[in-house]
Amino acid sequence: MIGIKNSALSLILDTEDKRMLEEIKLQFLGRSGKLTLAIKDITKVPVERRPEIGRLANEVKTTVEEAIQRKESALKSEASKTREKQIDVTIPGIKPTIGHIHPLTQVLWEVVDVFKTLGFQAADGPEIETDYYNFEALNIPKNHPARDTQQTLYLDTRESKTTPGEVILRTQTSAMQGRVMEKTKPPVRVIVPGKNFRYEQVDASHGFEFWQCEGFMVDKNVRLTDLFGTIDYLLKKLMGEKTEVKFATTNFPFVEPGVDTYIKCTVCKGAGCGFCKGSGWSEIMPAGMIHPNVLKTAGYDHKKVSGFAFAIGLSRLVTLRYEMKDLRLLTNPDLRILEQF
Ligand SMILES: [Zn+2]
């Protein structure tokens, strides 16, 4: 009886197959299984030993049955684990979404690249600026009417020692002219890309927060025609060789003479639309020859050197380049807009 138990248990332990286990079950517990027959044979044992042998036989039977049950459930859970592990390699995978550079940054990088080839260096300036660099150093003293054209956002400085109204969010990247010229002797060729802030009515072509790229050059004999050539070169590089550029005189306190640069509206191709306010031309950058007062304030000798300056409206340049009807789309978080670039 013990021999039968041992051989049954070792067979059960060794098997890793459900069908084999079934066979072992039959071999021992089936109608003519070894254990079944051994139990039947108890009748041949002398009467006085029968109870003892019977108990032993029952024990062996229970042990073997339990071992088979344990093995069955072990094999079952093994099988379900294997199913979980199985991977169907034919199912298409999930593609991770990859981001890309914002159109504004793309154009900004291109602008920087074009100016690099012309020998300009890029400088970075503070967005929180003082009234001095944003206005006074640019020939716009306090109470000058030109300040009205740049609705300024003032920082609350009540908790600090700063004079009220001295600290502002810069309204133009030109604020860096004074900072750079104070520290650098001519010749200088610098561009300053960055964000500006004005308290403006927001519409299709105006935002309260907008990107500019300031550029200026000071050297001996810098002339207005150098400015025209530089702007024309830049716009043709960025917008295509066929881009039509137009200059018109205008007035800014920090330049003399001042010019406004226009390109033919890419939205309506010159026919007139809401974006260009019906004129067919879109204003893209104010520019001009740096005013002698600005050079003097920075410590330059305005009789020996001259220079030009311009401020490219980057946000507007991007909308014109991609023929977008509304500047506000550039700061819209809807990915369906950005995914198109
Ligand atoms: Zn237009």
- Cα of 271 from ligand 1 centre, angstroms: 6
Cα 191 to ligand 1 centre (Å): 28
User: Which pLDDT score is estimated for 78?
Assistant: 80
pTM of the model: 0.68
Give the pLDDT confidence score for residue 256 in this predicted structure.
93
Q: Would you write out the chain's pLDDT as a tens digit for each of its 341 residues?
A: 778 888 888 888 888 888 888 888 888 888 888 888 888 888 888 888 888 888 888 888 888 889 888 888 888 888 777 776 777 888 888 888 888 899 999 999 999 999 999 999 999 999 999 999 999 999 998 888 888 888 899 999 888 888 888 999 999 999 999 999 999 999 999 999 999 999 988 887 788 888 999 999 999 999 999 999 999 999 999 888 988 999 999 999 999 999 999 998 878 888 988 878 899 998 889 999 999 999 999 999 999 999 999 999 888 888 888 888 888 888 888 888 888 88
* Gap from CA of 287 to ligand 1 centroid (Å): 22
Farthest-apart Cα atoms in the chain, separation: 137
pLDDT score at 14: 85
Q: Are 108 and 213 in contact (CB under 8 A)?
A: yes
Q: How far is the CA of 321 from the centre of ligand 1 (A)?
A: 12
The pLDDT of residue 109 is: 94
Tokens 């001042």 locate to 258
Structure tokens at 128: 């929180």
The confidence score (pLDDT) of residue 147 equals 84
Q: What's the 314 CA to ligand 1 centre distance in angstroms?
A: 17
The pLDDT value given to residue 298: 93
The residues, any chain, with a CB within 8 Å of residue 10's CB and separated by 6 or more, are: none
Q: Measured in angstroms, how far is the CA atom of residue 272 from the centroid of ligand 1? A: 4
Measured distance CA(184)–CA(111) in Å, rounded? 23
A 10 A CB-CB count for 282 gives: 24
Distance 119 CA to ligand 1 centre (A): 34
If you measure from the C-alpha of residue 264 to the centroid of ligand 1, how many angstroms do you get, rounded to a whole number?
A: 8
259 CA to centre of ligand 1 in angstroms = 21
**Full 3-state SS string of the chain:** CHHHHHHHHHHHHHCCCHHHHHHHHHHHHCCCCHHHHHHHHHHHCCHHHHHHHHHHHHHHHHHHHHHHHHHHHHHHHHHHHHHHHCCCCCCCCCCCCCCCCCHHHHHHHHHHHHHHHCCCEECCCCCEEEHHHHCHHHCCCCCCHHHHHCCCCECCCCCCCCCCCCEEECCCCCHHHHHHHHHCCCCEEEEEEEEEECCCCCECCECCEEEEEEEEEEECCCCHHHHHHHHHHHHHHHHCCCCCEEEEEECCCCEEEEEEEEEECCCCCCCCCCCCCCCCEEEEEEEEEECHHHHHHCCCCCCCCEEEEEEEEHHHHHHHHCCCCCHHHHHCCCHHHHCCC
| d(CA 262, ligand 1 centre) in Å | 12
Q: Rounded to the nearest whole angstrom, what is the distance from the C-alpha of residue 247 to the centroid of ligand 1?
A: 17
Count of alpha carbons within 13 angstroms of residue 44, beta-carbon side: 5
Question: Distance between CA atoms of 34 and 272, rounded to whole angstroms?
Answer: 103
| C-alpha separations of 160 from 54, 155, 166 in Å | 101, 11, 11
CA distance 294 to 214: 15
Q: Compute, in angstroms, the gap from residue 328 CA to the centroid of ligand 1.
A: 16
- 128, 169 contact by CB (below 8 A): yes
**Tokens found for residue 152:** 């300024």
Q: For helices 18-29 and 50-85, what crossing angle results, to 10°? A: 170
Q: Are 285 and 249 in contact (CB under 8 A)?
A: no
Q: What is the distance between the alpha carbons of residues 263 and 245, in angstroms, rounded to a whole number?
A: 5
Looking at the chain, how many residues does it have? 341
